[in-house]
């Protein structure tokens, strides 16, 4: 089998991406397909239909993770797994996650076209709730698969309306029977957009992801005292929103103390009662820190705890700081990284090593199986924004690298 024709069908890949992007399409050209909503169900149903058409055997586990299997010559061997996630952010794009799932489907379709048999089975995976937007934390289903979180704890996670993840899985019909994890992967490769500006700025075709930065997520509830905005002297106020506002500023300052790699974000803020002439009695916020090293993450964690305690005392409010998620920095498997590099080189694609700023399911799976990631550029590095965009060639290049890396790991037998 000559290497030269080991390529995907770029037009078919792009058509499938555009068809999937219609599920949850937003007026600004993005996608809103929150985990375990009816739109997620529709995306899953479409993916399942495409997998059946490609002759793949679908299994669904108790976290709703979908595994579509292409049989290998030796079915006793552990599979090579390729895939990503189909859920999106509320103002998400067409490609974050979907490129990895649809790109993996295109690999299977191309192997069928090329009539290639592999020694090892190949499985395409769609991980449930990667984004962690509706149900925190992020990457929760690959965390259960990797033994980093219990199934019970994950299924009990609730959205801001108090709806449990497990209940929603059942409601959309994707609470599978298969156990979550407890089975080996020979290797896992995840194709993903970079979600940053480096590859496009350097005009590089492919990112070979060697590491993923770590992250810590928090929830903070401030309790002050609701009072009249007009008749309460400033010195007698216990203003929960002022405490939250000062903390939001400190989150940014803490991240900047770990420049240039440290990042910190406040994503959610909610207050009660939310009346223009009542001093807010309650404020709820989320925040997160990320950095490639554990030491910096630990410093940011300690600085946040100190800041929250100081601000609460000064503003005479109580504060409850919960650490809801921890993802340690990830080092991807050297052999899988080398396979991705060889695949890019065999295609004549420019490539460079890169560290992932975003978290991915591959970061969890890397703790239990040889894992690597393949990045393609994205326009202006924009993601988690409806303007997220890539060029069709970038998708095709990424899927071709995924095809060849997966084939090296799964071994062609005919």
188 forms beta bridges with 81, 371
Q: Is residue 262 a contact point for ligand HGY (CB under 6 A)?
A: no
Q: Which of 280, 274, 321, 286 is nearest to 302 (CA)?
A: 321
Is 209 near ligand HGY (CB under 6 A)? no
Q: Which does residue 97 bind out of ligand HGY, Mn ion, none, counting CB within 5 to 8 angstroms by kind?
A: Mn ion
24 binds, among Mn ion, ligand HGY, none (CB under 5 to 8 A by kind): none
- Minimum Å gap between C-beta 361 and ligand HGY is 9
Pick the binder of ligand HGY from 105, 138, 209, 240 (CB under 6 A).
138
**Of the ranges 14-22, 37-45, 96-104, 251-259, which one interacts with Mn ion (CB under 5 A)?**
96-104
| Binding of Mn ion by 87 (CB under 5 A) | no
The CA-atom distances, in angstroms, between 135 and each of 156, 329, 404 are 10, 22, 35
User: Among ligand HGY, Mn ion, none, what binds residue 138 when CB lies within 5 to 8 Å by partner kind?
Assistant: ligand HGY
- Identify the DSSP state of 31: B
Stretches 43-51, 125-133, 197-205, 396-404: which one binds ligand HGY (CB under 6 A)?
125-133
The reply to whether 264 sits near Mn ion by the rule CB under 5 A is no
Asked whether 195 and 96 are in contact (CB, 8 A), the reply is yes
Give the burial string for 195-217 (b: 16+ CB within 10 Å, else e): bbebbbeeebbbbbbbbbbbbbb
Residue 87 to residue 40: CA distance in whole angstroms: 6
Does 96 help bind Mn ion (rule: CB under 5 A)?
Answer: yes
Nearer to ligand HGY, 17 or 358 (CB): 358
Judged by CB under 5 A, the residue of 83, 97, 166, 176 near Mn ion is: 97
Distances (CA, A) of 143 to 25, 150, 331: 28, 8, 16
Q: Kindly state whether residue 358 participates in binding ligand HGY, applying the rule CB under 6 A.
A: yes
Distance CA 11, CA 22 (A): 17
Q: How far apart are CA 299 and CA 293, in angstroms?
A: 10
Distance between CA atoms of 355 and 254, rounded to whole angstroms?
A: 22
Nearer to Mn ion, 17 or 317 (CB): 17
Instruction: Characterise 85 by phi-psi region: left (phi > 0), alpha (psi -120 to 50), beta (else).
Output: beta
Q: Which is nearer to Mn ion, 97 or 121 (CB)?
A: 97
Q: Which is nearer to ligand HGY, 239 or 388 (CB)?
A: 388
**Total binding residues for Mn ion by CB under 5 A?**
2
Please tell me whether residue 329 binds ligand HGY under the rule CB under 6 A: no
Least distance from C-beta 85 to ligand HGY, angstroms?
8
Q: Which residues bind ligand HGY (CB under 6 A)?
A: 130-132, 138, 358-359
Q: Which residues bind Mn ion (CB under 5 A)?
A: 96-97
């Amino acid at each position: 089998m000559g290497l030269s024709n080991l390529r995907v069908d770029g037009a078919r890949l792009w058509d499938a991406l555009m068809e999937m992007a219609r599920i949850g399409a937003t007026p600004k050209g993005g996608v809103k397909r929150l985990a375990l909503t009816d739109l997620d169900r529709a995306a899953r149903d479409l993916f399942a239909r495409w997998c059946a058409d490609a002759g793949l055997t679908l299994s669904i586990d108790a976290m709703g993770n979908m595994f579509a299997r292409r049989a290998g010559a030796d079915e006793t061997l552990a599979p090579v797994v390729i895939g990503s996630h189909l859920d999106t952010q509320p103002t998400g794009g067409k490609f974050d996650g979907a490129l990895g799932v649809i790109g993996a489907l295109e690999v299977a379709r191309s192997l069928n076209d090329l009539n290639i048999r592999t020694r090892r089975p190949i499985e395409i995976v769609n991980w449930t709730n990667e984004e962690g937007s509706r149900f925190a934390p992020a990457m929760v289903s690959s965390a259960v698969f990797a033994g980093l979180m219990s199934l019970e704890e994950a299924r009990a996670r609730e959205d801001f309306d108090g709806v449990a993840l497990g209940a929603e899985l059942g409601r959309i019909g994707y609470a599978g029977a298969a156990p979550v994890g407890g089975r080996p992967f020979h290797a896992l490769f995840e194709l993903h957009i970079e979600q940053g500006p480096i590859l496009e700025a350097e005009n590089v075709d492919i990112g070979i992801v060697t590491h993923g930065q770590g992250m810590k997520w928090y929830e903070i509830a401030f309790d002050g005292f609701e009072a009249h905005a007009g008749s309460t002297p400033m010195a007698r106020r216990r203003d929960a929103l002022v405490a939250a506002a000062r903390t939001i500023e400190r989150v940014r300052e803490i991240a900047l103390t770990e420049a240039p790699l440290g990042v910190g974000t406040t994503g959610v803020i909610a207050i009660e009662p939310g009346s223009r002439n009542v001093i807010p009695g309650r404020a709820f916020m989320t925040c997160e820190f990320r950095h490639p090293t554990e030491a910096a993450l630990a410093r940011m964690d300690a600085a946040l705890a100190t800041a929250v305690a100081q601000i609460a005392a000064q503003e005479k409010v109580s504060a409850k700081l919960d650490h809801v998620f921890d993802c340690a920095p990830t080092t991807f498997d050297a052999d899988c990284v080398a396979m991705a590099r060889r695949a890019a080189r065999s295609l004549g694609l420019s490539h460079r090593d890169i560290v992932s700023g975003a978290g991915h399911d591959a970061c969890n799976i890397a703790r239990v199986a040889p894992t690597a990631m393949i990045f393609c550029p994205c326009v202006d590095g924009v993601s988690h924004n409806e303007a997220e965009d890539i060029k069709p060639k970038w998708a095709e290049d990424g899927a071709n690298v995924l095809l060849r890396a997966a084939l090296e790991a799964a071994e062609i037998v005919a």
